[in-house]
Amino acid sequence: MRVRFRPSEPSDFIALLGQLPVHRTRGITALAGDELLGIGGLITAPDGSVWASCFISDAGRTFPRAVHRAGLELMRLARSAGCQRVFASAEDRPGAERWLLALGFRRVPEEPLFVWEPS
């Protein structure tokens, strides 16, 4: 089944996470048919920093290529939105560090963080 993407809607967050985001979020929702596979988003924290976030359902994990395509789309969104820096964390997520590096993030020395800056 083909995975498609669309801008996230409030109902997507409620269906996947049980609540709306706490901070302003621009998201991309992945769907296979009508099944919600995941949401990737750019979250703007109160201090103005922008964080990449990803919530993937168990079903969504069976579509690794689509997850990567969504990540690439999210970084295009960051670039078009004029983000100068996007942070991410890979703690407690197997494979996340490798994926963030593939998306153009770099590790912040001596921190469990990654940062992306447009080239």
Per the CB < 8 A criterion, the answer to whether 114 and 107 are in contact is: yes
Characterize 34-65 residue by residue with b for buried, 16 or more Cβ atoms within 10 angstroms of its Cβ, and e for exposed: eebbbbbbbbbeeeeebbbbbbbeeebeebee
Mean pLDDT along residues 94-104 = 89
Mean pLDDT along residues 22-32 = 95
Residue 100: count of CB within 10 angstroms of its CB? 23
Domain boundaries, the chain: 3-116
Fold classification of 3-116 (topology level): Aminopeptidase (3.40.630)
Q: What is the pLDDT of residue 91?
A: 78
Here the tokens at position 21 are: 């985001």
Measured CA to CA in angstroms, residue 17 lies from 11, 85, 93 at distances of 10, 26, 17
Q: What is the pTM of this model?
A: 0.90
